[in-house]
Structures are given as structure tokens and as C-alpha cells.
Structure 1
Amino acid sequence: MQNQPTFWSAKRHGFAVEFSPYFPQRIALATSQHYGIAGCGTLFVIDDTPAGGVLLKSFDWSDGLFDVTWAETNENLLVTGGGDGSIQVWDIAQPMGPLKVMKEHGKEVYGVDWSQTRDEQLVVSASWDGTIKLWDITQPSSLATFTGHQHVVYCAIWSPHIPRCFASASGDKTLRIWDTRKPYEARMVIPACNAEVLTCDWCKYNENILLTGSVDAAIRGWDLRTPREPIFQLSGHSHAIRRIKCSPHVGSMLASCSYDFTVRTWDFNRQSQPLEVIEQHSEFACGLDFNLHKPGQIADCGWDEKMFVYTPKSLLPSG
């Protein structure tokens, strides 16, 4: 499958993409100069049109940007995680820099996620300093710090089903489940594999199912009711899996992107091999998301400065 890039982030290497929960055509892209090692970062907001990607807004930051999440309470707000240990709150209706910057982490913020429960404006941030922080963006400082991981925390993802619950993936080889009311102890610690765990996501149709992606190039499924062993394992990538996302439209389908430059689609109920291998990046594929509004459509980005928006054949709605 060969696609033309929807957007080219010249001299900025893509780390994360996320579709707007409000507008089906709108996408946020978090990027960094020099592969995130040095230099600044840029947040791009792009509208996908029949003629290609149209840049709506761009915001520069003084350090690399590694992740982005849209607000669930305001169509114009986004939060990014930066290499300087801060999170930034942006308003695309405003012409200048961030509305707010909150810096408490001691190292890079590699993951940010906005709670989908909508009862509060809660965000979690995952950092290379080994901690996770809970934020209410209306408050001047974090609400809680979650400790316990023994290595870099790569991502923290809210449960779409269970209020005040999120999962985290870490270089300490574990998947952990947290309750925001008990920040000093994880509800569950799952030894996920014998390699660093770089990413995790919740199944959107079963509150007990979580998936992890690891440096060993395997995707594993976990049932929180019986977490001693994975309930399935998906193989096919040849290098570390950078990000996985579960479909919001089909309970057993997901997509993954990897340092092997590919994006792959899967159905864990049907087979352990990928449904489709999408080879369109010439560098690490790092960012990935499903469009909530258009079944089967995904966006991805990579270190080759390219962002694609497309619907893989394997994800086309049946009928």
C-alpha cells in the first residue's frame, strides 16, 4: 500500500498524532527537531481535506514535543509533553504560545492523556524520571505523583470504562494499573515481558482487556481478571513496537507502528499474524491514532517528517 503524505513536517520528526474528538478532519501532530535529541519542537494542527493536509495552526516550543492529547471538554484545547519535563496547554483559537506551562517532571515527558470521563479536566503525564503525574489543567500544580516504576515510564493511558483508572507502560518491563485515589501504590503490577514495554492501550469494548507493545517486537493481550499470563500474543514486527492503538469501532482490531518503519493491522480474535503490513515510512514510525468519526481511518507519523491519513484495506467497513 503506497500513499502520498497528507502532511510533511519539514525538519521536524514526528512523534505523535491524534485525531480531534470533535472534528473528523482535524489532527494534531507533535514533532521535534533532530529526532528529539536536541533543538525545539512544533505542534501542528492540520485539517485533512480531499486536496490534502491543510495547516490550520502551528506552535513552536523550546524543547522537543513527544506526545499530544486533545481536550475532551473544549474543541480548541490540546496538551503536549515536552523534553524539558513540562506539559503545555495550547488553545488553537489563540494566536500565540501556550496558555499554561506546568513543569514538575525531572526529565522528558513522553506520554500525555486526557481523561475521557469528562467529569473533570484530568490529564496524566508519563516521564523518563520514572513517575506519572495527575493534573487538573485549571489548577496551578499537579494533584498527585505516582511512584513505583523502576525505570522510564513511556506512556500512561486512561481506561475508557473505569473512572479514575489508568494504565502505564515502562522500561522496567511492567504494565501497571493505577487508581487516582491511591497514588502511592499501583492496583496491579503485571510483569509484561523480558524487555522494555513502550506502549499500552485499552480494548474499547472490554474493560478487562489491555494490550502492550514491547522492545521484543511482540504485542501481548492481558485480561486483568487473570493477569499471570497473556491471553494472546501477536507477532510480525521485526523491531520494537513504538505505539499500539485499539480500534474504537471493532472490539478485536488494532493497529501498531514500529521502529521497523511499518504500520500493521491486527484482529486478535482471528489470527496472531498481521492482517496487513503498511510500508510507507523510511524512518521509525512513532505516532498512530484511529479516527473516532470515520470507521477504519487511521493517521500515522514518523521520523521521516511524513504524516499519512488513510484507511487500510483490512480496516474497510464490511458491506
Structure 2
Amino acid sequence: MNRPPPSGLHTPGFAHYALAWSPFHSNRLALASAANYGLVGNGRLHLISLGPGPGGLPGLSLEKFYDTQDGLYDAAWSEIHENQLVTASGDGSIRLWDIMLNDLPIRAWQEHTREVFSVDWSNLQKDLFVSSSWDGTVKLWSPERPHSITTLQAHQSCVYQALFSPHQPDVIATCSTDGTLKLFDLRAPAYAPSAAGNSFTHPLSAAALTVPASGTEVLSLDWNKYRPLVLASAGVDKAARVWDCRMVKLGGGADVGPAVGGQCEASLVGHEYAVRKVQWSPHRPDVLATASYDMTCRV
């Protein structure tokens, strides 16, 4: 007997950039999309539910959607409010949405000067999220504040991703077109509030560690969920790499300055084109998934 395949969801006119599971509801997802593959045009945030489809197999259905004036590149659910999430937009804006409301966002920020390409909500310090932009900066935010808390001049060029460590709430990792991974420790003295100016006009730039991960652009990174200070990176060179950064002391003591290093544990090759996304399994410390412009996903 042939069973029908699980039912999918089509969004005509919109290409997908990011998919995020709700941390509160196992059957709810958010989908960030853009018209014309994100090159020009509007964006759309889709709210999707997972439920029984044809033949009793899981299926996807569209609950509602929100249109935006520019493409959406990423989305992250709040860790403290089950109905709220943030989106990253091509016009440099970040918006906070409440899915119980039907039209406008409940808050919007416009500090980045170019496309915002990633947002990540901390699952340790649950009242904070981070954004990264093509303007070279990374910003730390609270949903309750009208302006960013801290601005990091993370790289001199596009920052594709910024992620909180799942082990240390004050550590953020970034990757960029400059071929590096960087780790920032917000406990360092350099990040203490200063009367000289706010973080928006005086961005900070001291990375605790710089990892020369590739000779070309690094498009994606992820923290290992079981091994502190172990990360994976992937990018234009068609490879994914695993980095052990545990030999570097993080904590911001007076004897700790910027460091360059990171030991490459593994270099995983096989993709025929750039690797767009890398992600560790949330269930096992030794399983990694990649997705590439060669139209394959590999584990």
C-alpha cells in the first residue's frame, strides 16, 4: 500500500530564508521570506502550524502572515513570551511581533545601516537577543528598550551570523566575509558602560578570540550544544570545519587580551558549491548537518 507523502506548504512569490521552531509549542513554526529571492521587493513572516495531514501524516498549514516593506532574512522566537518573535529585515530594521495581534509589530528598531542578516535570542539570559548586519556590526538588544544595549564593531565587512553561546550567557560568536570566526566576551573590562558615550556612537571592537577559519567568506556557524567552546563553520570554500577554542581563557581578566587561534578538529568536504548553513544536532554532540548551494543537505 502506497501512503501519500507528508503535505507541504507553498508560499507563491516568496522564497524562504529562515525557519524557527517555537520554544514553547512543538507544533508552531515561524518562516522568514522575501520576494524575488531577497534581491528586491517585500518580505513576509509566515506563522505555520504542524498537524495531521492527508493520510494521517504530519502536515503544515498557514495560520497567518505579516507583510513587510523589505525582505526578511531571519527570525527568532522570544524565550520569555510564547507569542512574540523578532525578525531581521533587508532595510536594516528589526521588528518585534506579537502573533496575537493581526497587523503591525509592537516595536521596531532602526540602528543598522545595512541589511540585518541574523537574529538570535539567548536561551540563558532570556531577556536579550543579538543581531548581525552587513554594516559590520553586531548589536545586543532587550525587547523592553528603545535602543540597543551594546554595539560591537565585530568585523570590517558583512557579518553573516551572530549566536549566543549555549553554555556561557556573555559569550557571542560571529562569522563574516573576512573569513574569520570571532568570539566576544561581554564580561571583559572593555565592555563596561562608560560615560564617554553610548554604544551606538562608540562601538566596541575587542574580540576575545579571532579564528582564521577560511580564505573566503564564512557564511554560517553554530555552537556545539554539549562541548563548550566547540563550534562549526561553513562557507564559500565548500567545506564545513569544527573548531576547538577551549585553550583560550574567556572571562575578561586583566591578563587576557585579544587572541588568534582555535584548533581545527575536522574539515568536512564533499559539497560542490558554497555551504550556506551548518548546524549541530540538539541531541548528539557528534552529529552535524550542512546545506549547500549544490542543492544537497548532508549529515
**What TM-score does the superposition give when structure 2 sets the normalisation length?**
0.85
Unaligned runs of 5+ residues in structure 1 are: 266-319
Q: What is the letter of the counterpart of residue 106 of structure 2?
A: L
Aligned match of 1:96 in 97, 103, 114? 103
How big is the shift at 1:263?
A: 1.4
RCO (CA 8 Å, sep 6+): is it higher in 1 or 2?
A: 1
Match of 1:255 in 2: 289
Q: Distance in 2 between matches of 1:23 and 1:148?
A: 34
Q: Distance in 1 between matches of 2:76 and 2:105?
A: 14
Task: Name the SS for the 2:139 alignment partner.
Answer: strand
Q: What is the letter of the counterpart of residue 147 of structure 2?
A: S
Alignment deviations for residues 260-312 of structure 1 (CA, whole Å, 9 cap, x no partner) = 112111xxxxxxxxxxxxxxxxxxxxxxxxxxxxxxxxxxxxxxxxxxxxxxx
Task: Name the SS for the 1:232 alignment partner.
Answer: strand
1:188 aligns with 2:222: no
Match of 1:152 in 2: 158
Alignment deviations for residues 202-253 of structure 1 (CA, whole Å, 9 cap, x no partner) = 0000112100011111000001125443111111211111111111111111
**What TM-score does the superposition give when structure 1 sets the normalisation length?**
0.80
Q: What is the letter of the counterpart of residue 220 of structure 1?
A: R
Aligned match of 1:76 in 74, 83, 106? 83
Cα separation, partners in 2 of 1:36 and 1:176, compared to 1, 3 Å: same
User: What count of residue pairs does the alignment treat as equivalent?
Assistant: 263
Aligned match of 2:14 in 8, 12, 34? 12
1:217 aligns with 2:238: yes
Match of 1:112 in 2: 119
Root-mean-square deviation (CA), in Å?
A: 1.5
Q: What is the letter of the counterpart of residue 206 of structure 1?
A: R
Aligned match of 1:126 in 125, 132, 139? 132
Alignment deviations for residues 92-134 of structure 1 (CA, whole Å, 9 cap, x no partner) = 11111111110100100001000111x4411111100011111
Task: Name the SS for the 2:13 alignment partner.
Answer: coil
Match of 1:66 in 2: 73
Unaligned runs of 5+ residues in structure 2 are: 54-58, 192-203, 248-260
Which is strand-richer, 1 or 2?
A: 1
Which of the two has higher C-alpha Rg?
2
Q: Distance in 1 between matches of 2:30 and 2:126?
A: 22
**Runs (4+) off by over 6 Å:** none
Cα separation, partners in 2 of 1:198 and 1:42, compared to 1, 3 Å: same
Q: Distance in 2 between matches of 1:143 and 1:36?
A: 29
Task: Write out aligned runs for 1:1-319 (5 A).
Answer: 6-51=8-53, 52-117=59-124, 119-181=125-187, 182=191, 183-226=204-247, 227-265=261-299
Q: Is the 8 A contact 1:120 1:136 kept in 2?
A: no
Seq. identity, %: 41
Q: What is the letter of the counterpart of residue 184 of structure 1?
A: S
Q: Distance in 2 between matches of 1:254 and 1:120?
A: 26
